[in-house]
């Protein structure tokens, strides 16, 4: 990978997707993989910052569905199923207290070199064009 201010290409892509996720919009023409990563990181970062209930509160259901689709794209089916269940239960009016715990979600997706980052790196290696790489 090429170096850019001490970051490799995957770090640059990750940071760009974080920015897009925070903004809530991805520019037209953004590669598919970056778009999926941005959708996932929007909900992921909300959950890491304030808990799963907070993530559901600040992200419209379509954004959570986009994150679920992204989890499936990155082959994190268990996390996708978990988040789908939480979203469905939330939309059906279940009390936040009755929803699965944040810890259960964190166990599926969390830490600096955890499942999300590993899945991103694996998908970028498998289909580099989805991330704008040759």
Give the residue with greater pLDDT, 72 vs 132. 72
Quote the pTM value.
Answer: 0.89
Give the pLDDT of residue 133.
85
Confidence of residue 15 (pLDDT cuts 50, 70, 90): very high
Give the pLDDT of residue 111.
59
Give the pLDDT of residue 4.
43
Least Cα distance to 70 among 133, 17, 7 occurs for 17
Q: What is the mean pLDDT of residues 2-18?
A: 74
The DSSP annotation for the chain comes to: --EETTEEHHHHHHHHHHHHHHHT---TT--HHHHHHHHHHHHHHHHHHH-HHHHHHHS-HHHHHHHHHHHHHTT-HHHHHHHHHHHHHHHTT--GGGSPPHHHHHHHH-STTSHHHHHHHHHHHH-GGGGT--
**pLDDT tens digits, residue range 85-124?**
999 998 998 877 777 888 888 888 875 668 899 999 999 9
Q: What is the mean pLDDT of residues 116-133?
A: 92
Give the pLDDT of residue 102.
81
**pLDDT tens digits, residue range 31-81?**
999 999 999 999 999 998 888 889 999 999 999 999 999 999 999 999 999
């Amino acid at each position: 990978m090429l170096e850019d201010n001490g970051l490799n290409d995957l770090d640059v892509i990750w940071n760009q997707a974080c920015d897009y996720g925070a903004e809530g919009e991805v520019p037209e023409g953004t590669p598919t993989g970056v778009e999926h990563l941005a959708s996932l990181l929007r909900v992921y970062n909300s959950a890491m910052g304030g808990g799963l209930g907070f993530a559901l509160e600040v992200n419209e259901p379509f954004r959570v569905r986009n994150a679920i689709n992204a989890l499936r794209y990155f082959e994190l089916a268990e996390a996708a199923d978990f988040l789908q269940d939480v979203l469905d239960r939330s939309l059906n009016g279940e009390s936040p207290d009755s929803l699965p715990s944040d810890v259960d979600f964190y166990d599926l997706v969390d830490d600096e070199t955890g499942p999300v980052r590993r899945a991103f790196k694996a998908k970028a290696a498998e289909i580099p064009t989805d991330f704008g790489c040759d």
